[in-house]
Amino acid sequence: MKPAPFHYERPTSLAEALDLLAADGVETKALAGGQSLVPLMNLRLARPDVLVDLDAVAELRGISRSGDQVRIGALTRHEQTATDALVRERLPLLAHAAVHIGHRAIRTRGTLGGSLAHADPAAELPVASLALGAEVDVASARGARTIPIAELFDGPLSTTVADDELIVAVRYPVDAGRRPFGFAELARRHGDFALTVAAVTLSVDGDGGCRAATVALGGIGGSPRLVGPAARALIGTRIDPAAVELAVASVDDAVRPVADLHGSVAYRRAMAALLTRQAIAMARGAR
């Protein structure tokens, strides 16, 4: 199928892009990598009047270290997130997660900002960004604000970013980025969207005690999210089998999967528990 007719704009500055998004009375959509929006338009599930192509907006690009954070521009392609030296060194979980996205052709077009804004429940970068405690910088013609990643997702394919706002960049704390991490996902075939995704970070002291932990899951019904009780079950322990069992049990309480073509509720629950266990084991092995 082909998309419904639309008007195409290609702004060359952030201010120009934000002015276009602020226009009243027309449905305006940002176009980043097009890997989610264009299929939706071709199926006529999205019918924007105006498409604002972000590709020439330099302010949305770049990866840099700023104090105790790494800032990644919203237009950063998944392939760059997977291969960039600074991301690999300081945010290895994010680079690792990006490699799992689709196939290379998808990764060379799709962007970090697009992935977070699209908010697919089982997308890799939202889950990794939750585990890393990212902050999302957004802007509109009305001004700029920062959304903690835990407040970004408010339902399947839905975020707290307003229609006239753009994600400009995502900032990741280096401290969380350097922690040992675990990442596990279940996909039917290589390159398929995951059914369930788990990401874990651990901070372990010299005696093997867990000082801090995050557990994030996607593909569990609703939005991807942090599972606080699972992290708390690990903190203050030596991550012994009993603590891991408690963490995994709390995942079962937290998830609300829905049955679909790919699996029953019970199957998805079992996968969430299994992948959490695998991600914790990977993080423990890495410390």
Ligand X SMILES: Cc1cc2nc3c(=O)[nH]c(=O)nc-3n(C[C@H](O)[C@H](O)[C@H](O)COP(=O)(O)OP(=O)(O)OC[C@H]3O[C@@H](n4cnc5c(N)ncnc54)[C@H](O)[C@@H]3O)c2cc1C
What is the binding site for ligand X (CB under 6 A)?
29-37, 39, 74, 101-102, 106, 109-111, 113-115, 117-118, 120, 123-124, 161, 166-167, 193
Residue 270 C-beta: closest distance to ligand X, Å? 21
CB of 196 to ligand X, least distance (A): 12
CB closer to ligand X, 102 vs 156: 102
* Residue number, 110 or 263, with CB nearest to ligand X: 110
Of residues 116 and 244, the one with the C-beta less far from ligand X: 116
> Which two three-digit tokens encode residue 220?
């569990």
Minimal distance, residue 44 CB to ligand X, in Å:
15
Residue pair 162/139 in contact (Cβ under 8 Å)? The answer is no
Do residues 194 and 177 make contact, with C-beta atoms less than 8 angstroms apart? no
Residue 58 gets which letter from DSSP?
G
* Secondary structure in 3-state letters for 208-263: CCEEEEEEEEECCCCCCEECHHHHHHHCCCCCCHHHHHHHHHHHHHHCCCCCECCE
Query: Between 67 and 189, whose beta carbon lies closer to ligand X?
Result: 189
Instruction: Please return the burial class of 72, using the count of CB atoms within 10 Å of its CB with bins 0-12, 13-18 and 19+.
Output: buried
Beta strands in 47-133 (DSSP E): 50-53, 63-66, 69-73
Q: Whose Cβ is closer to ligand X: residue 81's or residue 203's?
A: 81
If you search the block for the tokens 């030596």, which residue do you land on? Answer: 238
Smallest distance from the beta carbon of 57 to ligand X, in angstroms? Answer: 9
Q: How far is the CB of 138 from ligand X (least distance, A)?
A: 7
Length of the chain: 287
C-alpha 179 chain-centroid distance: 18
Contacts of 42 (CB under 8 A, 6+ apart): 1, 2, 3
Min dist CB 165 to ligand X, Å, is: 7
Complex with ligand X: residue 185 or 234, whichever CB lies closer: 185
